Amino acid sequence: MSTDGLAIQPSATTYELEDLVAQTWQGRVRVPHFQRDFRWGSRDVVRLFDSIIKGYPVGSMLLWVRQSGAETVTLGRLTISAPAGENTLWVVDGQQRITSIANALHPEGNRHAPF
């Protein structure tokens, strides 16, 4: 059993919402295939934005930084041409939130329910 990578300590990084959304639209944020499908309804999305606007905590996200190849990524109603990258952010926890935010704020994504 390899112990490569065990010496790497986890770290916390704070992203501005605007920056995280831009990175998502650019294909730098991806959802692994093992994540469950998007399940939120319009009410959940509205509540998330209500919390954001009021400055309430909406929880932290767990993002795994790793190398990724170029591919077409589907996130909610968005189809993104994602480039290869050394520091791609893979969503381990927070997929419902990032999918909701990225779609609701995108001109194409927000045309569709539940965004």
Q: What is the pLDDT of residues 27-78, one digit of tens each?
A: 999 999 889 999 999 999 999 999 999 999 999 999 999 999 999 999 999 9
pLDDT at 9: 80
pLDDT at 10: 82
Nearest-angstrom CA–CA distance, 39 and 107: 21
Axis-axis angle for helices 42-54, 95-104 (nearest 10): 90
pTM of the full predicted structure? 0.89
